[in-house]
Structure 1
């Protein structure tokens, strides 16, 4: 691990902010500007498509893809972000696995609070199944809020009687809307991305008055994970949401679900986005690609809807 690499990223994420509380549009614009600095592999093809009721971006390797689909959910606190801001993550999974990915542009709060995002991700998964894709040829992946959606979408699919995907990979997932994990306090100030106040503000936009004490909002605390596919959870020790991943891993173990808890020391939230800048980011993406490749079976591909 390079101290210089870590220091460069920490400084980037701690750039001075205005004393005024930013508007939703300012938050979204700032996130777009930050993520535009990330490395996106050149060896991909992209095109706009539709999946379920929402726009999506199809990301494919430059060479013919291997059979199988990564259904990707971007991060952004359920308030900001898009397939474009997550492209460094999605494209790197595509180039490392050889699979195609469909990155969903789900609805965002505050315009569309809970459960709009889960409705969209579930509809997208249902559309893949309806197109003839075998569930054993589909994996869920996502970062931050999108990492949370990999779990809650799986819960919603199970409740709807749908077959579950082959595997789940979640990068720094947001899995507890109650914000009661110990790391919320122990990592305050160490985390260069989040503050309790900032998390509370965007969280309230998504909750819109709903009780966070329920599985679809706080699966790390309340979800029954019995019957889930294998799960990979990656997080860094410098993030306030660290305990979201550690507690979900404990619930998965208790439910007899295969789970890998992959914690990297001294790195921030969604550190994997810094591939090409931080050695640990590339190593973590390599491990995630290996995990996804190991769990896709009996693929049956079809065109995206």
Structure 2
């Protein structure tokens, strides 16, 4: 059963997000997601430094206890059209606290100004730059939320197909893996997911990102890809998430491809509930589980 704090947050989301004034322009949609990002303050011991991974703008996020050679490459959400490397700083800071890693949060280019494959190109550049700095792929975990979750899979497919060493593992939080939107949950959870508003920009972003490309292109919608030979993957999704089936179906495809994958389903949780950090007990539990996965795969003790 959902916690009391979860019920309060859910009520706030329904009032201010789902039933609030929908975004009319992409600029308004971006402003809304930026405003949401400022709800939770981060702890004073977290250091944020703007850097460039070759030509790609990123944020290096660290703490005094971060191990020098352990890295997370973080890919934010926002439908490929919104958000930035600082959208989920609270979540990033909590992941650092449970993993003792450094984080490279990628500020990849956004559609419609920069459609596919711009985001993928930037993710590849950032990952390759990290390798060029002497960081072993065995010491890297990729984490992606929502669109960033789909992008994380696309990134690993590109690395595999171009003989670039793959990371030790990946964490996908409510990943958007099917931009064709064939999953039943896109309709069955339309009322239960507080982030979904039929009048918002959400349903337009797939076309903005894909531009003239087929939405079923495996590097746009990795659900349709050959997923063999990818590293260990942890997937988190809530039962009230419109992307619930994007997670369950990609898990099935990964298993069929022989990939070691763990799907954790959180009852009554919505899209990327993790971002509510310490305020939400279910988010704290989920983040702790992510920490265990990272430490096991990066041999952090």
Under a length normalisation based on structure 1, what TM-score does the superposition of the two structures give?
0.92
The 3 A distance-change label for structure 1 pair 292 and 194 is same
Distance 1:105 1:243 in 2: 27
> Equivalent of 2:153, from 137, 151, 154?
151
Identify the residue that residue 225 of structure 1 maps to in structure 2: 227
Q: Quick check: 1:43–1:95 contact (8 Å CA) kept in 2?
A: no
Map residues 8-27 of structure 1 onto 2, 5 A cutoff.
8-14=8-14, 15=16, 16-18=19-21, 21-27=23-29
- 1:193 matched to 2:206? The reply is no
Q: Quick check: 1:56–1:102 contact (8 Å CA) kept in 2?
A: yes
SS in 2 for 1:276: helix
SS in 2 for 1:156: helix
Identify the residue that residue 29 of structure 1 maps to in structure 2: 31
Under a length normalisation based on structure 2, what TM-score does the superposition of the two structures give?
0.94
> Equivalent of 2:80, from 78, 81, 97?
78
Shift of 1:207: 1.4
Structure 1: gaps spanning 5 or more residues: 299-305
| Count of paired positions | 296
Q: Which moved more, 1:36-45 or 1:242-251?
A: 36-45
Q: Quick check: 1:170–1:232 contact (8 Å CA) kept in 2?
A: yes
Q: Quick check: 2:52–2:58 contact (8 Å CA) kept in 1?
A: yes
Distance 1:52 1:189 in 2: 43
Shift of 1:209: 2.6
Over aligned residues, Cα RMSD in angstroms?
1.6
Distance 2:35 2:142 in 1: 26
Shift of 1:87: 0.5
Q: Quick check: 1:39–1:276 contact (8 Å CA) kept in 2?
A: no
> Equivalent of 1:253, from 255, 260, 280?
255
Identify the residue that residue 122 of structure 1 maps to in structure 2: 124
Shift of 1:297: 4.9
Distance 1:40 1:94 in 2: 11
Identify the residue that residue 219 of structure 2 maps to in structure 1: 216
Q: Deviations over 1:38-72 (max 9, x none)?
A: 24233311211111321111111123525310011
Distance 1:196 1:213 in 2: 22
Identify the residue that residue 277 of structure 1 maps to in structure 2: 279
Shift of 1:2: 4.4
Distance 1:150 1:105 in 2: 14
Structure 2: gaps spanning 5 or more residues: none
SS in 1 for 2:259: coil
Q: Deviations over 1:132-171 (max 9, x none)?
A: 2111011101211111111110011112210110000011
Shift of 1:3: 4.2
Distance 1:28 1:86 in 2: 14
> Equivalent of 1:207, from 184, 206, 210?
210
Distance 1:64 1:281 in 2: 22
